[in-house]
Amino acid sequence: MTQEKALVWFRRDLRDHDHAALSAALAGAKKVYCVFVFDTQILAALPARRDRRVHFIRESLCELDAALRQRGGGLIVRHGQAAEEIPALALALGVSAVYANRDYEPAAKARDDAVAARLADAGIDFLDFKDQAIFDRGDVLTQAGRPFSVFTPYKNAWLKRLTAADWVAHPCDGSLGGIETAGVPELAELGFESSDIAQLGIRPGMSGARSLWDEFRSRRIDHYSALRDFPAVKGVSYLSVHLRFGTISLRELVRSAIEKDAATWLGELIWRDFYFMILDHFPHVAGQAFKPEYDMIQWAQWPEGFAAWCSGQTGYPLVDAAMRQLNHSGWMHNRLRMVVASFLTKDLGIDWRAGERYFADQLNDFDLSANNGGWQWAASSGCDAQPYFRIFNPVTQSERFDPEGKFIRRYVPELAKLSNKHIHAPWAMSQVEQENRAVVIGRDYPAPIVDHARAREATLARYAVVRKPSLP
């Protein structure tokens, strides 16, 4: 039965094409209205008023609004608590249903439940759709009917379940409601300031996503597997922030990966589904270890060590370069995310939750599921078949993935004059060599904050509490 009016609630899906909720609304209603809420509950928790993510969202909404206006509609924008704004707007517009794409974060699910309850009281349906994942809820389960807890078996089951129907685009053709809209508020009206996204070359919106995707698909996707681990090389897609805010369709990316037989790239997209699934089925991971026994670990209380890690002053060049990249740009290469996370938890012995929170504040592409999953993977407390004694050696990682020190030289310029041999472990130079290169350890660049070999032994001792007792 065709509805007279419907409301589409945009959240982390800021595009007007291949959009599951919009497609369903256009197919099911004569008039469709579109809304986005700058949720004050979310905004109030942000640590700074100069937040690149808010700026990115605002600019992406301007592009979305323009696209919707070309369709005869426009974007209604509200600033308040979504749990109040959405039911109030739905009543004011006289819609029969509110359409939205699913979110898997615990707070978002609680919010949606509250909205659905208020709408139900008013006789309005709340309909949610799968959009930011290929498979969700109970789509991919073990033979016993339970959620997977290790990636590789999940990936195999995911691939076995996949058919062409799973990546078909959702058509978004139809009539939008011609309501007069005020446009997107300025950042200042939201209590925020402009950021440096333009200076960093970050292009928001559907057009920014399209530009990155076209370049990656035409030039680099075929070489992704060989180049993805080298931070000094342009080998990855740089689409993470666009996937986070849905300015590009996941289905389109999966479809291209299948067509190009880009198995490694497809595997990275499957990781996203996996972490969404984990957060959805095991919401305790948002604050606790996936494996409860790992919450018995006694983490080091070392604020000076944490501060050195945050500021890129640990004395380990690759770690410091990675953290400085994050602080400068709000982005970090994925290989380096693993390196610095391992260093914080297993060299410094600091709780993974401290690193997770720092990343949450700094990352432009912050996504609770992926961020939490990555940190728990590094700490060995999460969904991983590898045990706790997987500890990255920061020097070995540096020598392997930045062999010429190009990445280090960019973000740790005080080491720029060092040879390829010494740039990975500058403390190994003799005093004479240090003086000749004007890189005196302890004066021009920090001495290593820990000795990796000793730290490894301390970590093995710290993690001993999770060892299963041997059978008699």
Q: Which residues are catalytic?
A: 268, 271, 299, 334, 352, 375
Q: Measured between alpha carbons, how far is 380 from 466 in angstroms, rounded to an integer?
A: 10
Strand partners, 36: 10, 77
Helices (H) and strands (E) in the chain, counts: 21, 5
DSSP 64: H
Residue 356 · residue 344 · CB < 8 Å: no
Q: Measured between alpha carbons, how far is 88 from 94 in angstroms, rounded to an integer?
A: 10
Query: How does strand 3-10 pair with strand 75-80?
Result: unpaired
Name all contacts of 151-160 with Cβ < 8 Å and 24+ positions apart.
151/271, 151/274, 151/383, 151/384, 151/385, 152/385, 154/270, 154/274, 154/277, 155/267, 155/270, 155/274, 158/134, 158/270, 158/273, 158/274, 159/270
Helix axes 368-378, 263-281, angle to 10 degrees: 100
Phi, psi of 30 (to 5 degrees): -75, -40
Q: Measured between alpha carbons, how far is 8 from 21 in angstroms, rounded to an integer?
A: 7
Q: Measured between alpha carbons, how far is 302 from 347 in angstroms, rounded to an integer?
A: 12
How deeply is 453 buried, as exposed, middle or buried, from its count of CB atoms within 10 A (0-12, 13-18, 19+)?
Answer: exposed
Phi, psi of 37 (to 5 degrees): -115, 120
